[in-house]
């Protein structure tokens, strides 16, 4: 996706005058725009809003707790439905065991048992769909949090890490050694120190 959002447009969409006025409720909206922003705009926003990562973590923790409560409630509700269906199935089975039933009456009980089994299967399918939706939302939340953290880390480390190639060796002082003879000497010293 092309990064086209400039600072003025981001501020307008958030309804704020500058990034220092960003609130917790604007964090999610801001995060959804990150991949569309000009990198310099994102950097400026993150520099002016140092608590962004903290806010994102707070939002994520609140969401995680809500999800946990929903899952616990779902488990109890699903178990109650399955228990009721099991009870109905057992009742029908007892009726079916009655020796005084005609073939037609037995068929009615068998048909009802099949219906109950289909209900249980449908309940199981709905529950699995619900759990999949919850898992997808958790994944989206995790991606959101990681993108906020990555953006914040990127701003903090911008321009601070040198670009070393694979052929370069770094001596004990952190200096890049490019001369082949110096590389060998530095590696030899490192190995000697490790063997002590």
Q: Tell me if 3 is assigned to some domain.
A: no
pLDDT of residue 196: 58
pLDDT of residue 118: 93
| Report for 18-27, 72-81, 161-170: range of highest mean pLDDT | 72-81
Q: Are 10 and 42 in contact (CB under 8 A)?
A: no
**Helix, strand, or coil here: 47?**
helix
Whether 98 shows a pLDDT value over 70: the answer reads yes
Into how many domains does the chain fold?
A: 1
pLDDT of residue 84: 93
Tally of CA atoms within 13 A in the half-sphere of 84 that contains its CB: 7
Which tens digits make up the pLDDT trace of 41-64? 777 777 777 677 677 777 778 878
Residue 191 belongs to domain spanning:
164-196
Q: Tell me if 108 is assigned to some domain.
A: no
* DSSP-assigned states of every residue in 118-145: HHHHHHHHHHHHHHHHHHHHHHHHHHHH
**Helix, strand, or coil here: 37?**
strand
Q: Tell me if 186 is assigned to some domain.
A: yes
Q: Tell me if 138 is assigned to some domain.
A: no
Tell me what the mean pLDDT of segment 93-111 comes to: 89
Tell me the C-alpha distance between 149 and 27, whole Å: 12
Q: Tell me if 193 is assigned to some domain.
A: yes
Q: Tell me if 176 is assigned to some domain.
A: yes
Q: Tell me if 152 is assigned to some domain.
A: no
Whether 80 shows a pLDDT value over 70: the answer reads yes
Which tens digits make up the pLDDT trace of 115-170? 999 999 999 999 898 888 888 887 777 777 676 666 655 544 444 444 444 444 44
pLDDT of residue 149: 63
Model pTM score = 0.51
Tell me the C-alpha distance between 74 and 12, whole Å: 40
Q: Tell me if 168 is assigned to some domain.
A: yes
Which tens digits make up the pLDDT trace of 170-191? 444 444 445 556 656 666 666 6
The H or E element that residue 67 is part of is: helix 52-96
**Helix, strand, or coil here: 170?**
strand
Closest CA to 112 of 83, 82, 91: 91
Q: What is the DSSP letter of 169?
A: E
**Helix, strand, or coil here: 51?**
coil
């Amino acid at each position: 996706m092309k990064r086209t959002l400039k600072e003025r447009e981001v501020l307008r969409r958030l309804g704020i005058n500058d990034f220092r006025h960003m609130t917790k409720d604007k964090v999610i909206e801001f995060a959804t725009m990150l991949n569309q922003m000009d990198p310099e705009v994102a950097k400026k926003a993150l520099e002016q809003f140092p608590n962004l990562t903290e806010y994102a973590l707070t939002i994520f923790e609140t969401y995680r707790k809500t999800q946990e409560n929903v899952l616990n409630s779902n488990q109890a509700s699903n178990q109650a439905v399955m228990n009721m269906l099991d009870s109905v199935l057992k009742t029908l089975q007892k009726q079916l065991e009655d020796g005084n039933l005609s073939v037609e009456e037995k068929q009615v009980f068998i048909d009802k048992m099949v219906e109950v089994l289909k209900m249980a299967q449908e309940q199981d399918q709905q529950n699995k769909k619900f759990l999949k939706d919850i898992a997808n939302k958790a994944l989206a939340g995790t991606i959101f949090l990681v993108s906020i953290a990555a953006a914040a880390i990127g701003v903090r480390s911008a321009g601070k890490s040198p670009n070393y190639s694979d052929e370069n060796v770094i001596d004990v002082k952190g200096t890049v050694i490019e001369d082949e003879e110096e590389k060998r000497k530095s590696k030899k010293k490192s190995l000697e120190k490790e063997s002590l």
